[in-house]
Structure 1
Amino acid sequence: FKSKRNQTAAETPHKEELPDNEYSIPSLLEQTKIFFTRDLLTKLTNMQYILLNLLEAPLLALIMGFFTKYFSGTSDNPAVYIFRNNENLPAFLLMSVVVFLFLGMTLSSEEIIKDRTIIQRESFLNLSRGSYLHSKILIMFAISAFQSLSYVLVGNLIFEIKGMLLAYWLILFTTSCFANILGLNISAGLNSVTTIYILVPLLLIPQIIFCGVLVKYDKLHHSLTNYEYVPLIGNMMTSRWAYEALAVEQFKNNEFEKVFFEIEQKRSTADYLKNWLVPELEGKLEELKQNYRDEADPESIQADLQTLNTMLAEMGKLVPELQPYRPDHADVETFSDPTAEAIKAYLKGVSNLTGRIFMSSNKEKDLINNALIDHLGSVKAYSDFRNKYDNKSLSDLVRNRSVLDKVAEKDGRMIRKYELAYMKPTSKIGRAHLYAPNKQLGRFEIDTLWYNVAAIWLYTLVFYLTLRTDLLRKAMNISERRKLTRKQAS
Structure 2
Amino acid sequence: MSSKDSEHVMEIIRGMAHNKIIVVTIHQPSSKIFQMFHKAMLLDKGGRLVFFGTPSEMLRYFAEAEHQHQFGAELGACPSCGTTRPEFIFDVLETPLRDLSGDVIYEENSRGQLVPSRRYSPEFWRDKYEAFRLIQDVKQVSLRQEPVAPLPAAPAERKRLPFRWHDQWTQFRTVLRRAFISKLRNRANLVITICVSPVLALLIATILRYSESGTYDFASAYHIPTFLFLGLIVAMFLGLTNSADDIIRDRAVLQRERNLDVRLSYYVIAKTLTLAVFALIQCVLFVLIGNYVLEIRAMFWIYLGIMFMTAMSGVSLGLLISSLVADPKTAANIVPLVLIPQIIMGGALIKYEDMNRNLALLYALSHWFSEHPSTEKSKKMESKLQVPFVCQFVAMRWSYDEMVLAQAKLNPLTHRQDRAQREIDRIVARHRQDPAESKRLEDLKETLALLSGIEAKSVGELDRYLGLVDQILDRKRPFDRALFKGAIGPITAEQIYVNQKVSDLISNAEMEQSDYRRGNRPNVFFGAQKHYFGIRISAFAFNTAVLIVSTFGLLALLHWILRKQLEVRRS
- Do these two structures clear the TM 0.5 threshold for a shared fold by scoring above it? yes
Determine if contact 2:218/2:499 at 8 Å carries over to the other structure.
yes
CA distance in 2, matches of 1:376, 1:241: 43
* 2:192 maps to which of 52, 55, 76: 52
| Structure showing greater Rg | 2
Q: 1:129 is matched by which residue type in structure 2? A: L
Does residue 125 of the first structure (1) align with residue 125 of the second (2)? no
SS at match of 2:222: coil
Q: Which residue does 1:142 correspond to in 2?
A: 277
The correspondence of residues 8-407 of structure 1 with structure 2, limited to 5 A, is 22-25=16-19, 27-73=167-213, 80-225=215-360, 227-228=382-383, 229-261=386-418, 367-368=449-450, 372=454, 375=484, 377=486, 380-381=489-490, 384-400=492-508
What CA distance in whole angstroms lies between the structure 2 residues aligned with 1:54 and 1:39? 17
For 2:302 and 2:266, the matched residues in 1 are separated by 31
Cα offset for 1:445? 4.9
Equivalent-residue separation in structure 2 for 1:371 and 1:159 (angstroms): 23
Task: Give the Å deviation of 1:40.
Answer: 2.0
Write the mapping of 1:377-456 to structure 2, written as runs, cut at 5 A. Answer: 377=486, 380-381=489-490, 384-400=492-508, 414-415=517-518, 426=521, 432-440=523-531, 445-456=536-547
Cα offset for 1:370? 6.7
Q: Quote how far apart the aligned CAs of 1:21 are.
A: 5.3
Q: CA deviation at 1:70?
A: 1.0
Q: Distance in 1 between matches of 2:447 and 2:359?
A: 40
Bigger mean CA offset, 218-227 vs 442-451 = 442-451
- Calculate percent identity across the aligned residue pairs: 26
Structure 1 pair 71–473 and aligned structure 2 pair: CA distance change class (3 A)? farther
- Which structure carries more helix by proportion? 1
What amino acid maps onto 2:196 in structure 1? E
Q: 1:371 to 1:96 in 2, by over 3 A?
A: closer
**2:412, 2:497 within 8 Å by CA — same for their partners in 1?**
yes
Please tell me whether the aligned partners of residues 407 and 414 of structure 1 are also in contact (alpha carbons under 8 angstroms): no
Change (3 A) 1:471 1:222: farther
Residue ranges of structure 2 left out of the alignment (5+ in a row): 1-9, 21-166, 364-381, 424-428, 431-444, 456-480
Q: CA deviation at 1:182?
A: 1.1
1:157-212 Cα deviation digits (max 9, x unpaired): 11110111110000000111111111111111111112111111111111111122
Between Structure 1 and Structure 2, how many residues are aligned?
Answer: 346
Classify 1:41/1:235 alpha carbon distance in 2 versus 1 (closer, same or farther; 3 Å): same
Q: Distance in 2 between matches of 1:433 and 1:68?
A: 27
1:444–1:377 CA distance, 2 compared to 1 (3 A): farther
The alpha-carbon distance between structure 1 residues 415 and 192, as it changes in their structure 2 partners (threshold 3 A), is farther
Deviations 1:344-396 (A, max 9, x none): xxxxxxxxxxxxxxxxxxx9898345774663745644x53211111111111
Preserved contact between residue 454 and residue 493 of structure 2 (Cα < 8 Å) = no
Question: Scaled by the length of structure 2, what TM-score is found?
Answer: 0.54
RCO higher in 1 or 2 (8 Å CA, sep ≥ 6)?
1
For the residues of structure 1 that align with 2:225 and 2:485, how far apart are their CA atoms?
28
Matched residues in 2 for 1:126 and 1:472: separation? 12
- For the Cα contact (< 8 Å) 1:263–1:364, is it kept in 2? no
CA contact (8 A) 1:189 1:472 kept: no
Please state whether the residue corresponding to 1:83 is helix, strand or coil.
coil
Q: Deviations over 1:57-114 (max 9, x none)?
A: 11111111111111445xxxx5x42111110101101101111111001001111101
Q: 1:366 to 1:39 in 2, by over 3 A?
A: closer
CA separation of 1:452 and 1:366: change in aligned 2, threshold 3 A: closer
Letter in 2 for 1:391: N
- CA gap of 1:63–1:222, structure 2 versus 1, over 3 A, is closer
Contact 1:112–1:187, Cα closer than 8 Å, also in 2:
yes
> Residue 137 of structure 2 aligns with which residue?
none
Q: How far apart, in 2, do the equivalents of 1:49 and 1:456 lie? A: 28
With over 3 angstroms needed to count, the CA separation of the structure-2 counterparts of 1:72 and 1:472, relative to structure 1, is farther
CA-CA distance at 1:259 after TM superposition: 3.8
Instruction: Please state whether the residue corresponding to 2:530 is helix, strand or coil.
Output: strand
Show CA shifts across 1:206-256 (max 9, x none): 111112223233433332235344332222111011111110010112122
Amino acid at match of 1:25: N
Amino acid at match of 1:109: A
Cα distance in 2, alignment partners of residues 47 and 470 from structure 1: 31
CA–CA distance in structure 1, aligned partners of residues 208 and 342 of structure 2: 22
RMSD: 3.7
Q: Distance in 2 between matches of 1:376 and 1:64?
A: 41
Unaligned 5+ segments in structure 1 are 1-17, 267-319, 322-362, 417-424, 478-490
Task: State the 1:45 CA deviation.
Answer: 2.6
